[in-house]
Structure 1
């Protein structure tokens, strides 16, 4: 039963990852693509967390936390970039 649940979670996260890649490729605007990239980073952190639970290696949780924090800081940086006017044609 435990492996069924783990495999189901892997399948759901993989499907979400695939759909996020589609949104990142098709996104009509730059902010849509950045949000999709943020979602991809969060899903990868979730996959790493599930892998840590599956294998019992707690070091993977540290990797997932660092990945999530890095993605969050990238999103904050992009928001500040857009707030200051975005790209210019100087």
Structure 2
């Protein structure tokens, strides 16, 4: 897949598909912006290649070049269904 950069250069982007083991990750404390206990990423890497992005951090384990290589979790929907089921709180109406 080719994408255009801001300078007008054409940059090659590699998209790799993987079967992930899990999709949800529990926050250590409630996210103050989204007010959530969990987060998820459907892919690793990013085509936007923003210089200020914290996704460039080594802790995110992005294979290859951050702005050029994207790994998509193709089984994300199935994982989300499976992982949300036990977390669902059942309350009477």
TM-score, normalised to structure 1, is: 0.30
Richer in helix (by share): 1
